[in-house]
Amino acid sequence: MNNFTYEKLHNNLQYLKLNTIEELLDNCLEIAARDSKTTMEVLDYLFEQEKKHREAAAIERRMKSAGFPVKKMLEEFDFEFQSSINKKVIEDLATLRFVHNA
């Protein structure tokens, strides 16, 4: 890839606000060349990382906006301490399957 194409790619990533992809691109291209990854594998990985980063950032924004005093996640709940709560029921409710079944 020539220098002009490289710079243009980075400029486009910045313009489109694909910051995670821009951050990971150089290292990912090196690994792809070394490990003979296909273009589709590289693109899939980069976009998956961008998606994960945006989802995590969205959760952080919502938590901050909600004004919760502390950040608590379901994965952190101590079901052994509160034995009256059925872990399987809570995990099933967390999937929101009941909404789809309604």
pLDDT in tens, 11-25: 999 999 999 999 999
pLDDT at 71 (0 to 100):
84
Average pLDDT over residues 29-51: 96
Of the chain, the percentage scoring pLDDT greater than 70 comes to: 99
- 6 compared with 1, residue with greater pLDDT: 6
Pull the structure tokens for residue 74. Answer: 């379901």
The parent domain of residue 66 ranges over 3-101
Provide the domain count of the chain: 1
Q: What whole-number distance in Å separates Cα of residue 45 and Cα of residue 27? A: 12
Predicted confidence band of residue 3 (pLDDT cuts 50, 70, 90): confident
